[in-house]
Structures are given as C-alpha cells and as structure tokens.
Structure 1
Amino acid sequence: MRPALLTACAALALAAVTGAAASAQGPGPMRVAGHTDLPGYAGDFDHFAVDGADNRLFLAGEDGGVLEVFNLKTGAFLKSVPGFEAPHSLIYLPDAHELVVVAAKGSRVLNARTLAVKRTLKLAPGADSLAYDAPRRRAYVVTGGKDVKMTTSALVEIDPYTGKSYGQTVFDGDHTEALALETHGDRIFINQTDKNLLDVVDKRTHAIKARWPVTAAEQNAPIAYDEASHRLFVVTRKPGKLLVVDADSGRTVQEFEAPARVDQVLWDPTGRRVFVCGGDGRLSVIEQDDADHYRELAPVATPPAAKTCVYVPAMRRLYLAASPGETKSMAQLVWVDVPARR
C-alpha cells in the first residue's frame, strides 16, 4: 500500500532545502536525515507513541481513521491498522506490551505486538488530548468540546490498564486542547484555548487550583513542562508565539515568535531544548541556558504541516508527521537528527 523509504535523490533534495534555509540564518545545530512518503494518505495526522523494545513507532492517522506503524530505527513504513474514528493520542504501556488508542469515538487498547484489540475504553465523545502519569499508572484525557457539538469539555482521570474512571474536572468552554502534568507533584497544566486561559488542576482532587490569563497572544494550545525548573512552554496560534511561563506564578518569563499552526511542543530535559513543530514549514528550536534565559537556534526547514512530533532520546532523533491536510502535499514521516548539547 505504501512505498518504503525515500530514494537517495529525494533525501538529497530535502537536505538541500534544509541546508539552504539554515545557511541563510546561520549554521543550525540540526539536519533533516530523511523521510518516508505516504502517498495513500489524505488529511491530518495527530500524535505518536514509541515502542523501543520492539523497535516500532506508532502514529495516529486522525483523518484517515488508521494507526500507522513504522520501524523506529529506519523510519520504514510497516503497516496501517484501519477501523478507528478520529484517533488522536496514543500511550505505549511497556510492562503490558499494550498500546492505548484514544479516539473521538471508540477508544481501545491493542496488543502492541499483534495490534489486535484487547479491550475498549468507555470515554465520553470527543476524547482527544491526554497526559500519562506513569508512576501512578493514570491517564488524563480531554473529552467533549466543539468537535462533538458540546459547549463544555472535561478532563477525565482513568486507569488505562483497566479502564476504571477516577473522576473528572469540567470546564465551561468548548475548546480545551492540551495539557502537561507533574510526575513529582499534583498539578496538571491545561489550556482552555477558547478562553485564553491556562488552568492549574489538582490531579488527585480534580479541583481547579489556579486560572491564569494568557495575554501575550490568543489561542494558547500546545504545552510542555520542564519540571526541574518549573517552567512551562506554551504555544499560541493567534499569532504564533512560544511563551516561557513560571509554573508557580503564571508569569511570562520570555517569549519568542513561533511557527504557525503548531500542534505540538516538546521539552528535551537532556539537551535542555524546546522543539516547536510548526505547520508553516519550519521546526523552531529554543535552548535553555537557565530557568529564565533561552536562546533561539536556526530553524530547521520541514515539509508543510509537519506539526506533530515525538523525540526519541536514545536515538537523539526527532520524528515529525507531515500532514497533507489543506496543503494537499505528500504525507510523510520525517526525521531530524539532534546533536548532543555542547
């Protein structure tokens, strides 16, 4: 159904585009290493999961209703698993060799090796963004919202191993998009995108502990968290900005221009870098000097709508999903080699 890897010519062409963009803005610390074409796919992708033990990379094909599976080391396409309704977010559970697929309707848990369905999860319609608290074995899933014609949304706590629900937080808006949580604390940080609010939720009691207005720009959506320095990385879409936010006060520490149509921002604690995956053909990279000081590196040229990503620290590789969407460009899995921090 899909061809395997890119040809040598295609790889060189993509590298040349990246090199030209980097040289125009100074030497960049990264390079595009390759991509896999997915010519049979239309629409948007969503998020990734990594199975390092079995050398596989999973990608939610949101608009295609499929789960795409790749070789983690080479990026080669392996197979598509159809039958999902708007899959959005994934969790790989290594101890059980299970893959949780959170979808707008019909969320389920698969055997990660055979990809057979093991059980379903009873989630409200509109299940989308999530964060996984591995030490407590709990997932926090956003449900409801405008995509399923609801005027409210909720953050639901579940045990992904059993499907048991442990309560929820209800929000009075229809667009609650992304969240980040503490592993050594009780806070969840979640964006109410339609209200330009950053809410702080207690992950055990589900109470809203604080509500911080986002005033630098509108439509705050993707978020990542550096728990060591208590800094949040919040991306807005109108216009595109990256805000470095003090997680204890809500104060904006520093801000940068960000790419347009960003669907994901990642924090790499080893390299102390922020990756902002944009839909306008560039990957923005920010380096942290200390909690209050950050530097923007040369952007990496990427295909159109490469707006979701996952970082694999053991390989020092960043994978991005380039969605055809409205651009009607080629669907691709793209990977970027990330050098060690000097």
Structure 2
Amino acid sequence: MRTATAAFALAGIIQAATGVCQAADAPLVQVQSIPLENVHGRIDHMAVDIAGNRLFVAELGNDSVDVVDLKSGKAIGRISNLKEPQGIAYLSDGDLIVVANAGDGSVRFFRAADLAPLGTVALGDDADDVRTSGGKVLVGYGNGGLAVIDPTNRSLTGEIKLIGHPEGFEIDQKVNRAFVNVPEGHQVAVLDLRSGKLVSTWKLAGLGGNFPMALAGLGGPVAVVFRSPPKLVLLDPITGSAEQSVDTCGDADDVFFDGKRERFYVSCGDGAVDVIERGADGLRAIGRVRTSSGARTSLFVPELGRLFVATRAGWFEPQAAILVLRPSS
C-alpha cells in the first residue's frame, strides 16, 4: 500500500513538473509536444515562418538552431557550430534567418531554404534579442547598444548607445519608437528610430529585473514583466507612468499580447505560463498553466492561434521539446 501511495505521489510530482495535468477550464490547452533530438542545455528565443509552416529555435546551450516543420511536428534541419545563439528572426523578404550569438557577439545570416550561410556582422559581445523594422534588423548587444543592420548587404548601418545591456525590446511602428528593457540601469529606454537617439528613460521604484516586454497593440500600453518582485506592469507609452499591475509567475523571460482575446501570456522559468486578461476593470490573472522547470522562453503566433513553449532536457524531461498550446476560447 505504501509503495502504491509513493508511486501515485511521484506521478503527481512528475505531472506538476511537466504540465501534463491540466484543468478542463484552463485558458491554454496543450495540443502537441514536438521533440528536439540531441538538444542539451538552455533554449532561448524562437521565430516563425508562417507561410512555410516553419519554427526556428535558438538552442543556446547546444550551439545550434533547429528548424521545425509545424505540419509534421518534426525537426527537419539544424544549423550547428554557432556560439550560444540567443535572438533569432525570420525575414520573409529574402527568406532569411537571422541569428544573434552571445558567445562571440556575431549576427549571422542564413538562407532558410537550405540553411546556407550568407554573411556575418560582428558586434563584438553578447548579441541578444532581435527585431525587424522598416527593412532593417535591430539587435541588442554588449554593455549597452542597439545595432541597426542592413540585411541585404549584411552591414552595420547605425548604433544607439544605452547605459547597460538591453534585454527584451519592442518597436511601435505607429510612432517609429523602440522601447528597451535595460535591467542593469533599472529602466526602460525610449528610442526614436528616425533620429537614432535616446529620447527618454523610465524608472519604476521598487521594481527590478525587467526582462520581457510586449506592446498591447500599436500605440497601446507597454507591458513590462519584472522578476523582482514578479509582476506585470502596464506603462503609458507617452509618459512611462504605471497604469496597472498584477503579480506573475517567477523568472519570466517572455511575454506576448493576444489582441483577439485581450490577454497576456507570460512564460516563466519556475515552470508555468500565466494568462492575464485585460478588461474594463483592469488586469486579472485567469489561469496558470504548468510547463516544466526552466521553460522560460516562448513565442505566441496570433495567425496560428498557438503559443510555443521551449522545454529543456532535464531530470523530469529526458528530451528537449516544444510544447504547443492553444487558447481554449
């Protein structure tokens, strides 16, 4: 009897750690798990090619990028011999993959059709998050800089200095501004992309570890998730003042806004995705979906109605995988 009890207890622990056990009314439901063969260590950010049904996964600890075919649910290609890939982007114009590497500070370009290398831009140190805007590639890197790269000829065309290493950042195409988390400076930096200059810095007392960021629509509030304490805060996009806030799971590394459902998805290293709804009465946590320890990074694709969560190999997870979650309503 004790053995059976212990077995059920262990099964419960494993279910809690892997997110297998989900409530029937959970706001996100797991519909698939895509295995990543021979992938070890931390997994960082992801990008998607919607027309080609491909997901690109930056496998920092494995020095590789996997190409996943979303139709078959299988990895179909791999870029190897990278240097701690962190940020990644897909450019449909040119069918290009852009990979930012922490280990050597390089930004590398590959042809997505056959994964052939096309060129490298050397930034010197800790190339990190990647975004695209106006035909340019923007990359946060080093001790404080946002690089502007021309993807056509793979050349550095501009640089905006910051006081510390940039983490998550977003671009509001409506006003041509970038909002950049700079946790070392305990601030959000606001950059004018037309002039290439820093125009403002926002600081919030008592909050630190601002890593992930999302925009609640063009011209809408800036959602910043802090790790200390774990909290999502909506900031006015003009003044930077805090409008609303709500507690979140810990060790967050990605946040996305689902405009169709007026929800935020926050993925956290403590093994959960928090779903937070924005309504007339403010922000409200409506569910916490278990994933696995260390599953900090994710990607929400509105066109597909799917949230992809990267889980690393570990004690409870013998194999790395991409969990595919869909909103239940």
Show the 5 A alignment for 1:212-227. Answer: 212-227=202-217
Distance 2:312 2:178 in 1: 29
Structure 1 position 279 matched with structure 2 position 277: no
* CA deviations over 1:270-325 (Å, ceiling 9, x no partner): 222211011111101112225x7222111111122221111222321111111347
* Corresponding residue number in structure 1 for 2:240: 250
Q: Aligned-pair distance for 1:163? A: 2.2
- Offset at residue 40 of structure 1 (A): 2.4
Which amino acid is 1:72 matched to? Answer: L
Per the TM alignment, residue 48 of structure 1 is displaced from its structure 2 partner at its CA by 0.7
C-alpha distance in structure 1 between counterparts of 2:129 and 2:93, whole Å: 23
Question: Which residue of the partner structure matches residue 138 of structure 2?
Answer: 140
Question: In the alignment, does 2:118 pair up with 1:118?
Answer: yes
* Matched AA of 1:22: A
**Quick check: 1:189 aligned with 2:189?**
no
* Inter-CA distance 283–60: structure 2 relative to 1 (3 Å threshold): same
Give the equivalent residue in structure 1 for 2:304.
315
Aligned residue pair count:
315
Aligned partners of 1:126 and 1:143 also within 8 Å: yes
What percentage of residue pairs aligned between the two structures are identical? 29
Contact 1:122 1:163 in 2 (8 A): no
Deviation at 1:229, TM superposition (A): 5.1
Q: Residue by residue, what CA displacement relative to the aligned partner does 1:230-287 show, whole Å, maximum 9, x if unpaired?
A: 2011011122111111111111111111111211111122222211011111101112
- Residue 41 (structure 1) shift: 2.0
TM-score if structure 2 supplies the norm length?
0.88
Quick one: structure 1 residues 303 and 17, their matched pair in 2 at CA, closer, same or farther if it must change by over 3 Å? closer
State the alpha-carbon separation in 2 of the partners of residues 272 and 208 from structure 1. 30
- In the alignment, structure 2 segments of 5+ residues that lack a partner are 1-10
When structure 1 is superposed on structure 2, of 120-129 and 200-209 the one drifting more is 120-129
Matched with 1:109 is 109
Shift in alpha-carbon separation, 1:161–1:70, aligned structure 2, 3 A: same
Quick check: 2:54–2:67 contact (8 Å CA) kept in 1? yes
2:6 matched residue in structure 1: none
* C-alpha spacing 1:122/1:114, structure 2 compared with 1 (3 Å): same
User: CA–CA distance in 1 between the matches of 2:313 and 2:278?
Assistant: 32
Provide the rounded CA distance (Å) in 2 between the counterparts of 1:325 and 1:264: 21
1:73 is aligned to: 71
Residue 54 of structure 1 is matched in structure 2 by: 52
Which residue of 2 is the match for residue 159 of structure 1?
A: 150
Amino acid across the alignment from 1:52: I
- The match for 2:81 is 83
